[in-house]
């Protein structure tokens, strides 16, 4: 194996697949002593375990590090006072159980991030932190969590072998 591997600086929020797995392995310090096996080599670089796609490898890290994940789900409707009624938006008047006045139920349009996942590191006991869309957004919880973990170790950018970037 060539000891001079071309590296490229990449934003962690853009990592996926083998590049994210390689960065995750660097956090576990598994990139320095890999056994050379033909089935583990990808374009001349030893392929790490699939941290971002196989829960067997990813979930122990998530549990050990205390990484939180959350799925983005837009509620099917929102509730407004009757003065905001607008039939053109599909509003309907109804009275929720236990209320003494009518309310407006308005359908929410689907959001482009519905079904995506966020991940963030723990901030300490008793601390209250809101979720933001810059908390390592991804279509899967494992990818979001591994991006979050790699960022906690390396910062916003990491050096990745060029061969692993697709």
Alpha-carbon gap, residue 30 to 46, rounded angstroms: 10
Entry pTM: 0.76
**3-state SS, residue 150:** helix
Q: What is the domain partition of the chain in residue ranges? A: 18-72+112-164, 77-107
CATH topology (fold) of 18-72+112-164: Bacillus phage protein (3.30.2120)
Residue with tokens 């209250």: 128
Q: pLDDT truncated to tens, each residue of the chain (166 aa)? A: 445 678 899 999 999 998 899 889 888 875 443 434 444 455 555 667 889 999 999 999 999 998 989 999 999 999 999 889 999 999 999 998 888 899 999 999 988 889 999 998 887 665 566 666 667 889 999 999 999 999 989 989 998 888 778 6
Question: Residue 23: which of 161, 144, 163, 166 has the closest Cα?
Answer: 161
User: What tokens appear for 117 in the block?
Assistant: 């996942």
The predicted structure's pLDDT at residue 9: 94
**3-state SS, residue 86:** coil
Alpha-carbon gap, residue 103 to 101, rounded angstroms: 7
33, 157 Cβ separation under 8 angstroms: no
Q: Work out the widest C-alpha separation in the chain, in whole angstroms.
A: 75
């Amino acid at each position: 194996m060539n000891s001079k591997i071309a590296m490229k600086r990449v934003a962690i929020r853009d990592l996926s697949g083998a590049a994210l797995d390689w960065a995750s392995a660097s956090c576990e310090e598994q990139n320095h002593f890999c056994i050379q096996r033909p089935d583990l080599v990808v374009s001349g670089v030893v392929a790490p375990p699939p941290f971002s796609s196989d829960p067997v490898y990813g979930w122990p890290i998530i549990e050990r590090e205390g990484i939180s994940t959350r799925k983005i789900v837009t509620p099917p409707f929102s509730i407004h006072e009757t003065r905001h009624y607008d039939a053109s938006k599909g509003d309907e008047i109804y009275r929720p159980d236990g209320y003494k006045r009518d309310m407006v139920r308005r359908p929410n349009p689907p959001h482009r991030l519905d079904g995506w996942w966020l991940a963030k590191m723990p901030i300490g006991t008793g601390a209250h932190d809101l979720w933001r869309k810059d908390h390592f957004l991804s279509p899967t919880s494992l990818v979001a969590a591994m991006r979050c973990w790699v960022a906690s170790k390396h910062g916003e950018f990491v050096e990745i072998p060029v061969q692993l970037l697709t």
